A = this chain, B = another copy of it.
């Protein structure tokens, strides 16, 4: 891979998500050689993907070139690579651009959409885990309305204007809210010759409340907010299949729809070689100890979504969100230096900073340790926190301006079909 050998120990990081970037930053000025591998040349700010799908933000504003993050770090290398497998005996990572040996390996490969083995759903539904996927969804939504204009068949038209979101977590709730606002604010103007009242947004949740990881109060409020926006909230309902036309569930309810967004779960994106059964815990995540060391290894680590770390408060593993990833990345940075310097390691302690979700204009729910609040103030807090965590000064300004503009104008201007989705999937 054309990377010089130095006298410094070599740390290979797989993945430039929240965990991998936090770790890389922590190692920036240390006497180690760091090689970051990612299949994209950019870091994605995943919490705002739903705004890309709904035309509120441009994709480039929530992405950031990884090379730019690393540019001032000496001893850093980035390679655009797909990791194919890990050979832990020989301390090698095999990729599509060749193999790479390591002294220490950090797996920060994140998570992927979990279809729970249903290949029909995988084939016909839309996911929203990456920027290309979010752009596909944006194109599909717009193409559906263009098609709805054309068909004389009322059933088909309804199916084209029906949106079924599976999963009542933050992603599903935020997308449902955004779609509802599009229905209300944009569709009637953009499609005056279409009865857009027929457009329906359904959110289907398997549990007995939305936002299951948050407080009861937040769940209740989120549901109220969504219903106020005209979203149909289905609880205790599980989707069993989607054949491209009909969504079936574990009850009598079914939906005829051209668009299913699958936000019903994620699982660890494991890598061949570190996927022996005894290494993998619930959620397809790699089991790690309190130092993020992979079970049975002293020189291989896993951080972020891919790492299964039990705590008292989280017996099923830490939540697969940004905060644990960032915190694990930072601590592992310190610990790797401790290893190199032969000092004892520090245990990871998760500082739960709370969680939040936005439902729409002036509507959000926030659970902090001591305070839980909902409504307008929560919405400002949500925006402030997200702006703070986006990487890049320019991105922050551009996102901020888009939000202000969208707020004042009740608008979302990025409703562009740059790469049509249907056309490329018809053949």
Which residues of A does B touch, CB under 8 Å?
1-3, 40-42, 58-61, 63-65, 67-68, 71, 77, 79-80, 97-98, 131-132, 135, 142-143, 146, 149-150, 152, 189-193, 392-395, 397-398, 401-402, 405, 409, 411, 413-419
Contacts and interface: CB of A to CB of B under 8 A. Distances in A.
A115 to B, nearest CB: 23
A131 B418 contact: yes
A416 B190 contact: no
A296 to B, nearest CB: 33
A192 B75 CA distance: 10
Contact of A416 (B65, B79, B409, B419): B65
A65 B190 contact: yes
A285 B142 CA distance: 33
Given A41-B146, A397-B401, A413-B68, A135 B60 contact: no
Contacts of A394: 401-402, 405, 409, 411, 413
17 contacts: A3-B193, A41-B417, A42-B418, A59-B60, A60-B414, A64-B413, A65-B415, A67-B189, A68-B190, A71-B192, A97-B150, A392-B413, A394-B405, A394-B409, A394-B411, A398-B398, A398-B402
A42 B417 contact: yes
Contacts of A68: 189-190, 411, 413, 415
A409 B395 CA distance: 14
| In the A-B complex, the 9 residue pairs with the closest CB atoms | A58-B60, A67-B190, A71-B189, A80-B146, A60-B414, A58-B58, A42-B416, A394-B405, A41-B417
Nearest to A139: B41
- Most B CB contacts (10 A, CB to CB) among A41, A395, A405, A409 go to A41
Given A190-B67, A405-B397, A41 B413 contact: no
Contacts of A2: 149-150, 152, 193
- Most B CB contacts (10 A, CB to CB) among A1, A132, A192 go to A192
Contacts of A1: 150
Contact of A61 (B58, B64, B79): B58
